[in-house]
Amino acid sequence: MPQSSIAYAVGRVRAAARKPLGEAQLERLLSAANYQEALHLLVEIGWPEMDGQDVEGLSINMLEEACHRLREITPDPALTDSFLLRHDAQNLKSLFKARILETKPDRLSGCGTIPLDTLRHAVTEHDYRKLPIAFQQVMEALEKRIALHINPMEIDVQIDKALYSMIAERLKPTKSKAAIAYFTGKVDLQNAVSFLRLHSMQTDGISLQDVLLPGGTITDADWLSIQKKPDKLLPAFASYPKAIKQALTKAQEDSAHLPALEKAADDYLLSLFRPQRYEPFAIEVLIGWLLAHEREAGAVRLIMAGKLNDFAPELIRERLREAYGQ
């Protein structure tokens, strides 16, 4: 159960036997000659033996252990759960789309805040009363919508809107400037990606208003103004770091640079928690620890998949996000 002491929680994560891999360790892994050498090196630098699991399965299990540990020790579950709610949203999407399309759901994440049995029962029985109110309302609305038509993209967008509305409410009492900047930045940058993607596609039937997420610093009215005059995009991000503005400029010039913008966004968001990483009484230490595990899991999966498919290290490296530590 959650603890009341931030000092205790920080001490627990700092005393962990294994810390997430840093930049230097990931670079060593990337430099391995082949997949088998990378597997041996992965164990050497701190990962457990595979024991019959593949790298992806092991990385998911390790991340789920980190999520469970966070929920056990956090003194502020309302805040730290905000960083886990996206797993609940993804689980809802997978279960709902699998039901209506009569397919098997993607692997469900154990990192969420809602028990998987509760989600399965809710979707199977079309009864969402045990879910948080934002999820309940959006799922009930989607049940009515699918009676008319099925649109997987609309399902994703509507659940994401509910997710970020819920997070915005949870953040109202928090004093963590890093957490606020993280989620407002995440929304602003995701909305920028959506705007640029729609702008390049020139798609009829999908409006920017339909896909904008709530909770950012740039209002819907501002986005509609940007849509009319795209040269307003960069000024809207004037307060963001130079790397973000450069990535935005390139992506606006050529949509092929959108993946680079997404990478720059992820690196910026993680960087918000580095200044507090050595503080003894900061909730940001716990959040940074979680994000570090998430970043490690994604990096290891990317590197190992690249090694398995004989991709050049340079090709893998340009897709890697920055690690939390060195």
**Cα gap 271→182, rounded to integer Å:** 9
* Digit-coded pLDDT (tens) for 197-224: 998 886 666 789 999 999 999 999 999 9
Angle at the Cα of 306 (from 24 to 50), degrees rounded to 5? Answer: 75
CB count within 10 Å of CB 57 equals: 12
Q: pLDDT by residue (tens digit) across 274-313?
A: 999 888 899 999 999 999 999 999 999 999 999 999 999 9
Burial 13-50 (b: 16+ CB within 10 A, else e): beeeeebbbeeebbeebbebeebeebbebbeeeebeee
Residue 246 has pLDDT above 60, yes or no: yes
**Token reading at 108:** 């469900």
Question: pTM of the full predicted structure?
Answer: 0.94
Least confident interval from 13-27, 145-159, 243-257 = 13-27
Task: State percent of the chain over pLDDT 70.
Answer: 97
Given this model, what pLDDT does residue 204 score? 60
Q: Report how far residue 78's alpha carbon sits from residue 69's, in angstroms, rounded to the nearest whole number.
A: 15
- Specify the pLDDT at position 150: 84
Q: Which of 209, 210, 235 is nearest to 223 (CA)?
A: 209
Residue 177 burial (10 A CB sphere; 0-12, 13-18, 19+): exposed
- The pLDDT confidence band at residue 245, using thresholds 50, 70 and 90, is very high
State in words which class domain 77-173 has: mainly alpha
pLDDT higher than threshold 70 for residue 1: no
Is pLDDT larger for residue 280 or for residue 170?
Answer: 170
Residues 146-175: what's their mean pLDDT? 93
Would you give the end-to-end CA distance of the chain in angstroms?
32
Q: What is the pLDDT of residues 84-117, one digit of tens each?
A: 999 999 999 999 999 999 999 989 999 999 999 9
Considering only 3-7, 161-165, 233-237, which range has the smallest mean pLDDT? Answer: 3-7
pLDDT value, residue 13:
86
Instruction: Examine the pLDDT at 51 and tell me if it is beyond 80.
Output: no
Window from 10-19, 128-137, 143-152, 191-200 with minimum mean pLDDT: 10-19
CA neighbor of 92 nearest in space, from 14, 3, 157, 175: 157
pLDDT digits (tens, 9 = 90+) for 3-47: 678 998 999 888 875 788 999 999 999 999 999 999 999 999 989
Residue corresponding to tokens 């997404």? 262
Cβ atoms of 272 and 178 within 8 Å: the answer is yes
Question: What is the average pLDDT value for the chain, to the nearest integer?
Answer: 93
